[in-house]
Amino acid sequence: MTTLLKAHELRHSFGATPALDGVSLEVRRHEILAVVGESGSGKTTLLNVLAGRMNADQGTVHYHDGANLRSLSELGERELHRLQRARWGFVEQNPRAALRLNITAGGNIGERLMAAGDRHYGNIRAIATHWLEQVEIDPKRLDDLPMNFSGGMLQRLQIARMLVTEPELVFMDEPTGGLDASVQARVLDLIRSLVRRLGLAVVLVTHDIGVARLLADRLIVMRQGLIVESGLTDQVLDDPHHAYTQLLVSSVLPA
Amino acid sequence: MKGYNFAYLDENTKRMIRRAILKAVAIPGHQIPFASREMPLPYGWGTGGIQITAALLGMSDVLKVIDQGADDTTNAISIRRFFALTAGVATTTHTAGASLIQTRHRIPETPLRQDQILIYQVPMPEPLYRLEPNKSAAMRLHALADYGAMHVKLYEDITRFGRVATAYNHPVMVNRRYLMSPSPIPAYDNPKLHRMPALQLFGAGREQRIYAVPPYTEVRSLDFVDYPFHPGRAQHNCSQCGSDDSYLDEVITDNDGGRLFLCSDTDFCQNRQKAAK
Amino acid sequence: MNQPMLHARGINKSFLLHLQGGVRLDVLHEAELAVGAGECITLAGASGTGKSSLLKALYGNYLVDGGEILIRHLGQQVDLAAAAPELVLAIRRTTIGYVSQFLRAIPRIAAIDLVAEPLVDRGASGHEAKLRAAALLERLGIPSRLHGLPPATFSGGEQQRVNLARTFICPWPILLLDEPTASLDTTNRNRVIDLIREVKSQGCAIVGIFHDPQLHDAVSDLRLLFSESTAHSRT
C-alpha cells in the first residue's frame, strides 16, 4: 500500500504549551486514520500541520506526488495551494466556514473546477449536479442558496464541494461535530460509503469514539501532544493498553 | 503658474510615481502600490489619474481629458484647466491630436496610436474586492492566480439572469496572468483593451495603486466557452451623428417617456457631424 | 491434520487495568490451538476463563503479550500476532471471518445492504450482491419485508441472523464464531447449524464458542476446555 503522507517527529508549541511533542505517523492510500483525544491534546494542530495549513516548529511532513515522497516544506506556496485545492480536500467542522452562503449550491461546488480552469458553464453544472446526487441532495436545489439549507445539508454540500476535484486524501475536522444525532448518522453513513466508493484516504480528527469506530481503519490516541497509543481501531478500543485510552473508552456512555 | 512646480507635483513625487509606472508596465495587470499624494480635488474625482498625468506631462505634450466620453463636463474641464494652469501645456478635445488622454469610464471611439498614452481614473483597483474583502487574502489569490471565485460570480450571473450581467467594469485577464479591473468602462469598451497600440495606465488615488497594460498586450474578458463575453450597446443610432456602432448615452428628454440616444464620445460625434456637412 | 489453517501457540494475554489501581488480570497462559481445513474446534469452559479473549486475539482484536498466531493467508503463512495493521485488515478482508454476539449496527443502512456490503467490497456487482444477500436472509428466516429496513430496530434474534448473514455471504478459509445462536429459537438455530455444516464441508476451518450443546454436538470436532488461566486441556 502506498504511503500518501508521512510525518516525522513533529513538534510545535503555542508559547509554553506544547501542542505536538514529537509526533510521527503515516497515512496510506485508501485508509481512514482517526485521531482521537480530548480538547487540547493537539489533534487539530496535527491535522493543520499535515494538511499544510500551518508549519510546525520542527519535524517534516512528506507527501506522495505519484512517484516520490516530497517534503511539504520544499513546495512553493503555489504548488502547495494547488495540491490542497485539487488532490487534497478539507472538511471543516462548521460548513459555514468553507461555503459561500450567498452563492448557489452549484456555484459552491463549481468553484474548485473553475479555479482549476474549467470554463464551460454547462459542464460545470452537469458535474455539480452529479455531486449533489452523490451527497444525497436533490439536484433541484442546484440553484438554491445554501443559507436556506439545514445543518446536515450544509455539511453534505461542503463534502460535495471538496470532492468535485476527486481528491485522493481528505482531512476532516470533527465533520459531524455540530450536527444533531439523527443527522449525524446520515452524514457518517454518507462519508463511509463515499470513502469506500471513491477509494479516498482520510485523516479524521474527532473526539467521538463512536465516529472513529464506525469510520476508521486505524486509530491514533493523542494526549498532551503525544501519541499515547495507536493501532487497528477495534483493537485499540476493545483492548486499550494506555491508561488514558482506558479512561477514554470507559468514559463513553453506552447507546 | 507661480509658486507651484511644473504640473503641480514636486519632482521627487513624480519620480516616485514614474518608478511605480515602470514597475506596472513590467508586470502587466499587477497592482503596484504608490504613495498617493493629496491633490486639490476630492477622492473619486480622479486623484489617481491626475497624479499619473502630472508625472508624465512634458512641455510638448498635448492633453485631452474626458469624463464618460465627454470633454465638456465639469470634471473634464477642471482637470484640463488645472494642467493648463500648472504646466502650461496645450490641451485639446481631439482624440487624434492628443499625446496624453486622461479618461474616466470610457475608451475613445477613435482608435489610439502607439505614440499616445491613455490614463484611466480608477475608483477600485481590486477586481476581487467584493469576493475577498481581505486585501492580503486577495493579494494571495493574485499571487497564486487563483481566480475561481471570479468565475463563480459570472456563473452566478448566468444562473440568475441567463447571461453575464456585468454591464461595466467587466474583469479581464491581462497577458494570461493577472486578473484586472478595467475601471468602470462599459463592457462595450472591453475589446478595445486587447492589443491596443497605446500604453494604458490606471491610477487609483484613494486606494494608492497604479497598474498598466503595455502596448499590444493580450487582454481577455472573463467568460465561459458556452457563454462567450458579449459587449453590449443600445440598439439605436446616435440622434446627432447617426452612428450605429458607437457607444450611446440614453437621455430622458421629458416626463412623457421621451428619450434620445447620442454618442457618449463627444469628439467622435462632432467629427462625424462636421464630416457630414 | 497435516498443515493447520490456523495455529496459535504460546499465547499469553493479560490486562493491566490502570483505572482499577493497576490490577493485572492474567487471562491466557501459554494457550495453544490448531485447526485444519474442514475442522471445527469449540472453546469451552466457565465464564472468565479466557475463551472470548482467545477468539478475539485470533481475530487481531486483542493484542497478545506473547506467542504466535500462524495463519495461512493467500497461500502464505503469516503471524497475525506480529502483523502490521494493514496486514491484519487484509487478513480480515479475505481470510478470517468473525461473527460476534452482537451486531454492531451501522445506523440508517438497510439490512440487505449491510449483508451485501462484504461481497461488494470483494468486487461483486451491487445487483448480484443484493440477490445473494436476499437469498441468504430468506434462508436464515428474515422475511423480505424486513430486508429494506435498518436492523437497529430488529429483535435480538433478527439482528444476530443479519450479523451471521453478513459474514456467511462470503466464503472464508477461517471462521471465528462467538455464540452465533445465543438468542435464536430452535428453528433458526437449525438453520444456522445447516449453514455452518455447509461451510465446514467446503473446507472452512472454524473456531467457535458454543454454549448451546445442540449446536456444539452438531458441528464440533474437538473441544478445548478452558480452566482458570490456562487453555490447553482437551477432552
- How far apart, in whole angstroms, are the C-alpha atoms of residue B150 and residue A109? 14
Q: Which residue has the cell 485577464?
A: B173
B60 — contact with chain A (CB < 8 Å)?
no
**pLDDT band for position C209 (50/70/90)?**
very high
> Residue C6 has what pLDDT?
95
A250 and A209 Cβ atoms separated by less than 8 Å: no
Confidence of residue A124 (pLDDT cuts 50, 70, 90): very high
Question: With an 8 Å Cβ cutoff, is B148 touching chain A?
Answer: yes
Cα separation of the two ends of chain A: 35
Look-up of cell digits 481528505: A170
Best residue of A232, A233, A237, A241 to probe chain C, by most C CBs closer than 10 Å: A232
**Radius of gyration, alpha carbons of chain C:** 18
CB atoms within 10 A of CB A94: 15
Query: Would you call C18 and A247 a contact, using CB atoms and an 8 Å cutoff?
Result: yes
**Structure confidence at residue A83 (pLDDT):** 92
Whole-number Å distance between alpha carbons of C92 and C123:
16
- pLDDT interval class at C232 (50, 70, 90): very low
pLDDT of residue B138: 95
Cα–Cα–Cα angle for B34, B37, B38, rounded to 5 degrees: 150
Reading the block at residue A219, the C-alpha cell is 486509530
Q: Is B29 among the residues known to form the active site?
A: yes
Taking contacts as CB-CB distances below 8 angstroms, the residues of chain A near B143 are 77-78
Interface pTM, i.e. ipTM:
0.89
Q: Evaluate whether C183 touches C160 at the Cβ level (below 8 Å).
A: yes
Nearest to C56 among A1, A238, A247 (CB): A238
Catalytic one of B3, B29, B69, B242: B29
CA dist C198 and C112 (Å) reads 22
Domains, chain A, in order of start with CATH, read 3-252 (3.40.50.300)
- Does an H or E element contain B63, and which? strand B62-67
- Tell me the per-residue pLDDT of A23-76, one tens digit each, with 9 for 90 and over: 999 999 999 999 999 888 999 999 999 999 999 999 999 999 888 899 999 898
**Grid cell at residue A240:** 486499550
Give pLDDT, residue C90.
93
The shortest C-alpha distance from A78 to chain B (Å) reads 5
Place of cell 494642467: B83
Rounded to 5 degrees, φ, ψ at A241 are: -100, -40
The subunits that touch chain C, with at least 3 C-beta pairs less than 8 Å apart, are A
Please check whether residue A242 touches C, CB under 8 A. yes
Contact B226 A104 (CB under 8 A): no
C-alpha–C-alpha distance, residues B184 and B107, integer Å: 11
- Secondary structure of B174-191 as H, E, C letters: ECCCEEECCCCCEHHHHH
Counting Cα atoms < 13 Å in the Cβ hemisphere of C70 gives 14
Judge B/A contact: 3 or more CB pairs < 8 A. Answer: yes
Which chain B residue has its CA at the smallest distance from A85's CA? B146
pLDDT over 70 at A21, yes or no: yes
Q: Do C86 and A1 touch (CB under 8 A)?
A: yes
Instruction: Give the pLDDT band of residue C231 (cuts 50, 70, 90).
Output: very low
Residues of chain A with Cβ-Cβ distance to C119 below 8 Å are none
Residues of chain A with C-beta less than 8 angstroms from the C-beta of C109: 189
Residue C4, min C-alpha distance to chain A (Å): 25
What is the predicted pLDDT for the residue at B125? 97
Look at residue A254 in the predicted model and tell me its pLDDT.
62
Tell me: pLDDT of C70 over 90. Answer: yes
- Asked if A52 has any chain B CB less than 8 Å from its own CB, the reply is no
Residue of C91, C108, C113, C125 to mutate when probing chain A, most A C-beta within 10 A:
C108
Confidence of residue A193 (pLDDT cuts 50, 70, 90): confident
C-alpha span between A197 and A148 (Å, rounded): 29
The question of whether B238 is a catalytic residue gets the answer yes
Question: Between chains, do A238 and C107 touch, taking CB under 8 Å as contact?
Answer: no
A140 grid coordinates: 433541484
Among candidates B156, B226, B227 on the partner chain, residue whose Cβ is nearest the Cβ of A107:
B156
Which segments within chain A are labelled E, that is strand? 3-14, 17-28, 32-36, 58-64, 69-71, 88-91, 169-173, 201-206, 218-223, 226-232
| Alpha-carbon span B88 to B47, nearest angstrom | 19
CATH topology of domain C1-95+174-180+201-235: Rossmann fold (3.40.50)
Report the pLDDT value the prediction gives residue B23, as an integer from 0 to 100.
Answer: 98
Q: What average pLDDT does the structure give for chain A?
A: 92
Cβ distance A231 to C63 less than 8 Å, yes or no, reads yes
Residue B50 predicted with pLDDT over 60 = yes
Among the residue ranges A85-99, B145-159, C104-118, C136-150, the one predicted with the least confidence is C104-118
Residue contact A235–C62, C-beta within 8 A? yes
For the stretch B171-219, pLDDT in tens is: 999 999 999 999 999 999 999 999 999 999 999 999 999 999 999 999 9
Residue A89 forms beta bridges with which residues? A170
Tell me the three cell numbers of residue C68. Answer: 504466535
* Section A103-107 average pLDDT: 95
- Interface A–C counts its CB contacts (< 8 A) at 51
Q: Where in chain C is the domain with CATH 3.40.50.300?
A: 1-95+174-180+201-235
Grade residue C235 by pLDDT with cuts at 50, 70 and 90.
very low
Over the Cα atoms of chain B, what is R_g? 19
Alpha carbons within 13 A on the beta-carbon side of A85: 22
